[in-house]
Amino acid sequence: MSVRAVLRMGDERLQQVAEPVRDFGGEELRELLRNMRDTMEALSGVGLAAPQIGVGLRVVIFGAPPDRNNGQNPRYPDAGAVPYTVLINPVVTPLGEQYEEGWEGCLSLPGLRGVVPRFLHVRYQGHDEYGALIDRTVSGFHARVVQHECDHLDGILYPMRMTDMSRFGYTAELFPGRETQEE
Ligand code: NI
């Protein structure tokens, strides 16, 4: 296991614009992905971006690990619908103007949740860890996760996308008695 410390909001490395990956074959990328996956799984995250562990590269991972909790993530019970994905140098294109509000958390803001408007439908393109092309059109929670993770690559954290700060707070107060929502 190579679980890394996740940087928290306020660390300036989370606000920087990450650099594209140019070398797909290297051990460096493989090690980064291993560390990201171990870290995300250890914290029951649904996604993680490389800048969150202090690496300024355009790499995100997301999805619910199929081998744990019957595909269910304790923090996000809906996450089973999102396949585990490594996405490098992503481009996210909104499809249509429709957006949806939903609760989000972030491993860089432990213990907090907020309602964030996101595009309902998006297309995302990028590369997997071998350099193969990924091109998907997704909706709802899957689209939300992709938008959240890719925002990290441009130094954007979800509170910066919020429009109603009255729906931002500590999970324990917002959802009392809901153990599944704990960090
Ligand atoms: Ni996040």
Determine, yes or no, domain membership for 112. yes
Determine, yes or no, domain membership for 1. no
Q: What pLDDT was estimated at residue 72?
A: 55
The candidate with the shortest Cα–Cα distance to 157, out of 95, 93, 104, 88, is: 104
Determine, yes or no, domain membership for 88. yes
Handedness of CA 14, 17, 22, 24 (dihedral sign): positive
Q: Are 150 and 175 in contact (CB under 8 A)?
A: no
Q: Are 60 and 90 in contact (CB under 8 A)?
A: yes
- Kindly tell me if the per-residue pLDDT of 181 is higher than 50: no
- Distance, CA 105 to ligand 1 centroid (Å)? 7
Q: What pLDDT was estimated at residue 73?
A: 60
CATH assignment at residue 60: 3.90.45.10
Q: Which of 19, 100, 149, 179 is catalytic?
A: 149
Determine, yes or no, domain membership for 182. no
Q: Are 87 and 48 in contact (CB under 8 A)?
A: no
- Distance, CA 50 to ligand 1 centroid (Å)? 10
Residue with the bigger pLDDT between 127 and 177: it is 127
Verify whether residue 149 is a known catalytic residue. yes
Determine, yes or no, domain membership for 2. no
Per-residue model confidence as pLDDT tens digits over 45-79: 999 999 999 999 999 999 965 444 454 566 666 55
d(CA 117, CA 183): 22
- Distance, CA 106 to ligand 1 centroid (Å)? 4
- Distance, CA 41 to ligand 1 centroid (Å)? 14
Q: Provide the pairing of β-strand 133-139 with 121-127.
A: antiparallel
Q: What is the rounded average pLDDT of the residues 30-58?
A: 96
Determine, yes or no, domain membership for 167. yes
Number of domains in the chain: 1
Q: What pLDDT was estimated at residue 94?
A: 98
Determine, yes or no, domain membership for 145. yes
- Distance, CA 176 to ligand 1 centroid (Å)? 22
Domain span including residue 55: 12-174
Determine, yes or no, domain membership for 179. no
- Distance, CA 45 to ligand 1 centroid (Å)? 9
Q: How is residue 21 written in tokens?
A: 């990956």
Give the environment of ion ligand 1: residues with CB less than 5 A: 106
